[in-house]
Amino acid sequence: MADTESNGAGGDGAGGEFPADLLVELDRSRPRGLRAQLERGLRQAIARGSLPPGTALPPSRVLAAELDVSRSLVVGAYEQLVIEGYLEARQGSGTRVRAHGVGGDWTDGGPGQGSAPVGQGRTGRDGGLRRSGLPDPSLFPRSEWLRHYRDVLREVPDDRLLYPAARGEPELRAALAAYLGRVRGVRTTPEQIVICGGFSQAVMLLSRALGQRGVTRIAVEDPCFSLHRRIIRSAGLEPVPVPVDDQGLQTARLATLDVGAVLLAPAHSYPSGVVLSADRRVQVLEWARTAGALVIEDDYDAELRYDRLPVGALQGLDPDHVIYGGTVSKVLSPVLRLGWIVAPPRLADDFLRAKFLEDFATEGLGQLTLARFIDSGALARHLRRVRPIYRARRDALLAALRTHLPAVRPSGEAAGLHLLLRLPAGLDPAMVSAVAAEHGIQLEEAARYWADRETAPPALLIGYGMQRESALVRGIEALGEDLLQAARLHGRVLSRGRLISLIPEPWPELGSHDPLVVHPGRLGGGEPGDRRPHDLRFQQVPQPGRDLGGHHACAGRAAGQQHVHGDRRVAQVGGHDPGQ
Ligand SMILES: Cc1ncc(COP(=O)(O)O)c(C=O)c1O
């Protein structure tokens, strides 16, 4: 933990960046711990923008004195929020609100499409911390990267400090050709590789290159990474969604569609996490050969495997019909904006032309650094270090889900940095996500990844890459508790105090401005295996000005509006909702 005492803010309420009037209310009568309340108050202030990025927090001793709590409580809360990515702590400059939210929510609206600035989610609710699938930036191999970067700068001749090669620096293309052949079974020479600004740029440039060859439609997975659909459309082509089932993209449909290419992630489809089955791998290649079409392989997180041997790249089976694409965004960091394609020679040249017209070339020093990083074995070492860390986070998350949210069905756990969580029918993803945010768990509504949101099942995405095990377990446990209480209010099926399922119809719209008193009827947990609906009766108690109807009742509970004491009665606790 950095020295929080060095913050010049807030100590005497003067001259600091921390707003002197910021309300962080601690309700000592509430059962949830004071530290959790402080964490929640700070999260909400950051999400609402009352604590903008870069704001220095008061030294822990000062805030502790102001709130009349122990200093260790404040230190603990700061540390937790650093882990969660809301705050950053640097030796000598104290603890601050993270300067940039982790990623922006650009997957849908995108910049200039009505989305919030980077670092602020469109709703402002989660501070823009869309984490599904991001690597942990605190695991970035800073010193090793720096060492190679320094070596590059020291050794690179002056004449290479001009425009980099449009195709990409030869050292990196040579390093990648060897590495991809070894690790992913890709068949290539350095000449067939073109370096670009992440795989997303590859999708843009490929769409343009294919468009110039007369391709007007590209098949995409449904669901898929929605940004790719938008990129294809913005290049003037039509993305044609093809459903993904438990064996991957339904390849048999391709022959019925008039498409010139298909974009898919065979090793780990996003966001479902499905691996393309062996039969379909063969089928998609047969289709490409017969139709004279191309397969664009998105191999975005191939090296992050946990339970099984990696599936080799499709490209290795048919290099003439597959354009292979990769990125460092998952294995290292998206901050580098480094990706590549491996393409049949003529297409590589078309791609190169599009790349040159787009931005001349990708930044060169990072390329040279990555080349050394790969050749020296540092990338392999980095992967050996982070894989067990991510696997432990995934295991903790899966165990917590099994224990506290057994009605939720996770998928895609064999690889990557995220899980897709299918919810029981009737449970509103937006509501669950809002409740989870109160407990420091970022859940992203998955519907955006379906071509037609209306056809999306109720599902959420959770990225576990950036959360420590303890935070994941605590957050899922608290979410489970809140949903359990909500189920006791509005749902019925309970067993031994755990949520087994929720009612299959939408949550009852109680349509009242009044709080509820629950007469528990036979509520009480039931016997093991007892899944009969419990008989709950609701009674409205007039109290004007309060909206606890439907979803809000649960979200409000999480925000401290109401509290359920055991199974017996609902009591009003806490005076106001700080989120309002
Ligand atoms: C399915 C998929 N492909 C590729 C990428 C990587 O894109 P880029 O290399 O542009 O960061 C992502 C990033 O989230 C992704 O989800």
Sheet of strand 443-445, all strands in order from the earlier edge strand to the far edge: 409-411, 418-422, 459-463, 443-445
Nearest atom within ligand 1 for CA of residue 269: 1
Considering 97, 118, 152, which residue would you say is the last residue of a domain? Answer: 97
| CATH code of the domain containing 9 | 1.10.10.10
Determine the length of the chain: 580
Q: Which residue has the higher pLDDT, 27 or 436?
A: 436
- How many domains are contained in the chain? 4
What is the rounded average pLDDT of the residues 318-331?
Answer: 98
- Structural domain boundaries enclosing 235: 163-376
Residue 105 has pLDDT above 50, yes or no: no
Say yes or no: 59 and 121 in one domain.
no
DSSP H helices in 31-97: 34-48, 60-67, 71-84
Mutate to test the pocket of ligand 1, among 327, 341, 448 (most ligand atoms within 8 A of CB): 327
- Alpha-carbon distance of 207 to 286, in angstroms, equals 22
Residue 539 has pLDDT above 80, yes or no: no
Confirm whether pTM is higher than 0.75: no
288 within some domain: yes
Say yes or no: 265 and 330 in one domain.
yes
Residue 448 has pLDDT above 80, yes or no: yes
pLDDT score of 15:
35
Residue 34 has pLDDT above 90, yes or no: no
Question: Across 223-293, where does the E strand assignment appear?
Answer: 238-245, 248-249, 261-264
Q: Which residue has the higher pLDDT, 36 or 479?
A: 479
Percentage of the chain beyond pLDDT 90 is 55
Report how far apart, in Å, the C-alpha atoms of 410 and of each of 185, 224, 399, 423, 438 are.
29, 17, 11, 9, 21
- Alpha-carbon distance of 51 to 230, in angstroms, equals 33
Q: What is the pLDDT of residues 450-507, one digit of tens each?
A: 999 999 999 999 999 998 999 999 999 999 888 877 666 654 433 333 333 343 333 3
Residue 420 has pLDDT above 70, yes or no: yes
Alpha carbon of 574 to ligand 1 centroid (Å): 43
154 within some domain: no
Q: Which residue has the higher pLDDT, 303 or 28?
A: 303
Nearest atom within ligand 1 for CA of residue 200: 10
When mean pLDDT is compared across 165-169, 433-437, 497-501, the lowest value belongs to: 497-501
163 secondary structure, DSSP code = S
Say yes or no: 171 and 270 in one domain.
yes
Alpha carbon of 48 to ligand 1 centroid (Å): 28
- Alpha-carbon distance of 54 to 277, in angstroms, equals 47
Alpha carbon of 305 to ligand 1 centroid (Å): 16
Residue 245: band (very low, low, confident or very high) from pLDDT cuts 50, 70, 90: very high
Say yes or no: 115 and 242 in one domain.
no
When mean pLDDT is compared across 256-260, 283-287, 551-555, the lowest value belongs to: 551-555
pLDDT score of 58:
87
Residue 531 has pLDDT above 70, yes or no: no
Say yes or no: 448 and 417 in one domain.
yes
Say yes or no: 113 and 35 in one domain.
no
- Alpha-carbon distance of 224 to 34, in angstroms, equals 41
What is the rounded average pLDDT of the residues 388-400?
Answer: 97
Residue 390 has pLDDT above 70, yes or no: yes
Residue 113: band (very low, low, confident or very high) from pLDDT cuts 50, 70, 90: very low
399 within some domain: yes
Alpha carbon of 205 to ligand 1 centroid (Å): 15
pLDDT score of 441:
92
Residue 211: band (very low, low, confident or very high) from pLDDT cuts 50, 70, 90: very high
Residue 290 has pLDDT above 50, yes or no: yes
Say yes or no: 86 and 113 in one domain.
no
Nearest atom within ligand 1 for CA of residue 270: 1
Mutate to test the pocket of ligand 1, among 108, 132, 196, 200 (most ligand atoms within 8 A of CB): 200
DSSP H helices in 12-169: 34-48, 60-67, 71-84, 142-155
Indicate the pairing of strand 322-327 with strand 294-298.
parallel
What is the rounded average pLDDT of the residues 116-128?
Answer: 34
Q: Write down the mean pLDDT value for the chain.
A: 78
User: Cis peptide before 141, with omega less than 30 degrees from 0?
Assistant: no
Q: Whose CA is nearest to atom 6 of ligand 1?
A: 199
Q: Whose CA is nearest to atom 3 of ligand 1?
A: 300
Alpha carbon of 232 to ligand 1 centroid (Å): 14
Considering 114, 130, 146, which residue would you say is the last residue of a domain? Answer: 130
| CATH code of the domain containing 330 | 3.40.640.10
Residue 345 has pLDDT above 80, yes or no: yes
Q: What is the pLDDT of residues 55-100, one digit of tens each?
A: 888 888 888 888 888 898 888 888 877 766 678 887 777 888 876 5
CB 77 within 8 A of CB 34: no
Mutate to test the pocket of ligand 1, among 263, 298, 303, 420 (most ligand atoms within 8 A of CB): 298
pLDDT score of 38:
86
Distance of CA 565 to the CA centre of its chain: 34
Alpha carbon of 106 to ligand 1 centroid (Å): 12
Alpha carbon of 105 to ligand 1 centroid (Å): 13
| CATH code of the domain containing 406 | 3.90.1150.10
Ligand 1 neighbours by CB, cut-off 6 Å: 133, 198-200, 225, 265, 270, 298, 300, 327, 329, 334, 339
Provide the angle, in degrees to the nearest 10, between the axes of the packed helices 469-490 and 71-84.
Answer: 90
Alpha carbon of 140 to ligand 1 centroid (Å): 17
14 within some domain: yes
Say yes or no: 106 and 169 in one domain.
no
Q: Whose CA is nearest to atom 5 of ligand 1?
A: 300
Q: Which residues contact 408 (CB under 8 A, 6 or more apart)?
A: 401, 421, 422, 423, 424
Considering 351, 376, 401, which residue would you say is the last residue of a domain? Answer: 376
